[in-house]
């Protein structure tokens, strides 16, 4: 029997017998294509709870799988594998190993909020995507994505000084992710920007490299935020059982 929906089945689950004879008749190849039946045994029953404990994931339990999020998704239009509805399903079912197949693209959510706009159940799928990406990193399934590295550099500067200076943030980001600043398109952009700028403006921009813009009287806010961040980090480690994971790994060594 031919399998009509072959494209829906993962190639590794399609089994073709190259050499098979039944009652003296050769039925090798195309004639003996089978779908490997799938048995899921390794549920992570705590998965939904873990995602829900991270910021943004709070409302995942509301989802009733209508698919409005995936339908409206900006990134899904570029990459059909980017499928928030499906990931929410896997998380709620506890199918961790299935979720991990897509671990390298989940961080690509651009936060356009089209899903949150479309969702009839106020799941805030955008938040769930961020929580899931965060979860993957905390559990060590993926290295920190470029997006997380950028968020951290940015937030660190805001918490420290109260403000952002974009040139500095960009340079630090390129350095930390090992990318060269001298990229043809970036050079072209700077060239075009400089074409019309008067000298006074250039001096001002140059000075911004040495004098970081700051909010005056910021130190009180800075300390308060830092304390809160540390407290939240502790809380997340606890919910995800990260300290136990580390201890178990140490014992094994």
Partner 1 sequence: MKKSDKQQKYKEVAYYPGCALEGSGHAYNRSTKALGEKLGLKLKEVDNWNCCGAMEVKNIDPKIQTYLSSRVMSTAANKMNMDVVMAPCNGCYHNLKKAEYDLENDEKSREVVDRLSKKAGHDTYQAGQVETIHALDWVKDSIGEEGLKERVKNSLEGIKIANYYGCMYTRPRHIFPEKDAGPGSESTSKPHFMDDLLEAAGADNVEFPLKTACCGGAHTLSDSDTSTKLVTNILRAAEAAGAEVIATECPTCHSGLEMHQIRAEKTLGIKTNVKIIYFTQLLGMALGLKPKKVGLHENVSDSFDFVKKKGLA
Q: Which residues bind partner 1 (CB under 8 A)?
A: 55-56, 74-75, 78, 108, 110-114, 116-117, 124, 127, 130, 134, 145-152, 154-155, 158-159, 162-167, 170, 173-174, 177, 184-185, 188-189, 192-193, 195-198, 201, 208, 213, 215-218, 220-221, 223-225, 227-229, 232
Q: How far is the CB of 242 from partner 1 (least distance, A)?
A: 17
Q: How far is the CB of 207 from partner 1 (least distance, A)?
A: 12
Residue 16 or residue 78: which is nearer to partner 1 going by CB? Answer: 78
User: CB within 8 A of 31, min separation 6: which ones?
Assistant: none
* 204 burial via Cβ count (<10 Å: 0-12, 13-18, 19+): exposed
d(CA 235, CA 239) in angstroms, rounded, equals 6
d(CA 137, CA 101) in angstroms, rounded, equals 14
Residue 98 or residue 102: which is nearer to partner 1 going by CB? Answer: 102
Residue 95 or residue 134: which is nearer to partner 1 going by CB? Answer: 134
Residue 99 or residue 157: which is nearer to partner 1 going by CB? Answer: 157
Residue 21 or residue 79: which is nearer to partner 1 going by CB? Answer: 79
Residue 21 or residue 122: which is nearer to partner 1 going by CB? Answer: 122
Q: How far is the CB of 217 from partner 1 (least distance, A)?
A: 6
Q: How far is the CB of 103 from partner 1 (least distance, A)?
A: 15
Q: How far is the CB of 124 from partner 1 (least distance, A)?
A: 8
d(CA 226, CA 75) in angstroms, rounded, equals 33
d(CA 165, CA 213) in angstroms, rounded, equals 7
Q: How far is the CB of 61 from partner 1 (least distance, A)?
A: 17
For the chain, where are the alpha helices, taking DSSP H only?
47-53, 68-72, 84-93, 96-100, 114-118, 125-138, 146-161, 166-176, 184-195, 199-207, 219-239, 242-252
d(CA 242, CA 234) in angstroms, rounded, equals 10
């Amino acid at each position: 029997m031919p399998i009509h929906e072959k494209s829906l089945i993962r190639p590794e689950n399609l089994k073709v017998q190259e050499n098979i004879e039944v009652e003296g008749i050769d039925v090798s190849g195309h004639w003996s294509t089978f779908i490997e039946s799938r048995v899921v045994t390794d549920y992570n029953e705590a998965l939904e709870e873990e995602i829900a404990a991270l910021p943004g994931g709070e409302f995942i339990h509301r989802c009733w799988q209508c698919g409005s999020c995936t339908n409206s998704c900006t990134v899904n239009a570029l990459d059909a594998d980017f499928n928030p509805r499906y990931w929410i399903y896997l998380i709620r079912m506890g199918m961790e190993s299935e979720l991990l197949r897509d671990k390298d693209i989940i961080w690509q959510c651009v936060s356009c909020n089209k899903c949150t706009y479309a969702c009839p159940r106020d799941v805030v799928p955008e938040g769930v995507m961020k929580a899931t990406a965060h979860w993957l990193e905390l559990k060590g399934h993926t290295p920190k994505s470029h997006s997380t590295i950028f968020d951290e550099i940015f937030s660190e500067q805001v918490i420290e000084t109260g403000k952002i200076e974009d040139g500095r943030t960009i340079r630090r980001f390129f350095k930390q992710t090992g990318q060269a600043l001298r990229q043809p398109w970036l050079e072209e952009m700077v060239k075009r920007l400089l074409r019309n700028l008067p000298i006074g403006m250039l001096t001002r921009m140059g000075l911004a490299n040495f004098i970081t813009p700051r909010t005056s009287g910021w130190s009180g806010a800075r300390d308060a935020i830092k304390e809160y961040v540390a407290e939240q980090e502790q809380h997340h480690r606890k919910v995800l059982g990260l300290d136990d994971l580390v201890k178990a790994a140490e014992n094994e060594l």
